[in-house]
Amino acid sequence: MISPMQGQIIALWMVFLFGMVFHTQLAMMPLLYGADIAIPHYHGKTPVSHLWMMLGFFALPMGVIAATALYSSPVYRLAHLGLTLVYSVLNLLHVTMDLRVQPIEWYQIVLMLLVFANGLVLNWVAYRWI
């Protein structure tokens, strides 16, 4: 049986994933209007390492959602808190990197700040779950 706190954690991870997918989708929206969004020095070729990193960044939370529904041992709870902290740091870095892109896409910044805030709530709930 899933505890209320496990349910909160699962919901917060799902909000995180939805926010990140939406962030990726928003980045592609200019294509619909004919804008060139290509990164010049890559010449239209995505490095395979970027694809694997992105897969890992999305797949790990998917696994955590399933694991949180199935496990609640003290060791898992501590590892889970550590992972939420890592993702919060990565999201903060992502926001700061997005602020360096010119021109600044403020809708992306707002979305990433929402994802970051969600992550902070996830950190708090994960901490309380311990």
Does the pLDDT of residue 88 top 90, yes or no?
A: yes
Query: What mean pLDDT is predicted for residues 90-105?
Result: 93
Tokens 């349910």, residue located: 7
Any idea what DSSP says for residue 40?
G
> How far is 60 from 39, CA to CA, in rounded Å?
27
Query: What mean pLDDT is predicted for residues 30-35?
Result: 68
Query: What mean pLDDT is predicted for residues 50-59?
Result: 92
The helix-helix angle for 48-70 and 4-28 (nearest 10°) equals: 160
Q: What is the pLDDT of residue 129?
A: 97
Could you tell me which residue, 44 or 63, shows the higher pLDDT? 63
Q: What is the pLDDT of residue 57?
A: 93
Could you tell me which residue, 25 or 4, shows the higher pLDDT? 4
Q: What is the pLDDT of residue 42?
A: 66
> How far is 64 from 62, CA to CA, in rounded Å?
5
Q: What is the pLDDT of residue 101?
A: 87
Does the pLDDT of residue 81 top 80, yes or no?
A: yes
Does the pLDDT of residue 5 top 90, yes or no?
A: yes
Q: What is the pLDDT of residue 12?
A: 98
State pTM to two decimals. Answer: 0.88
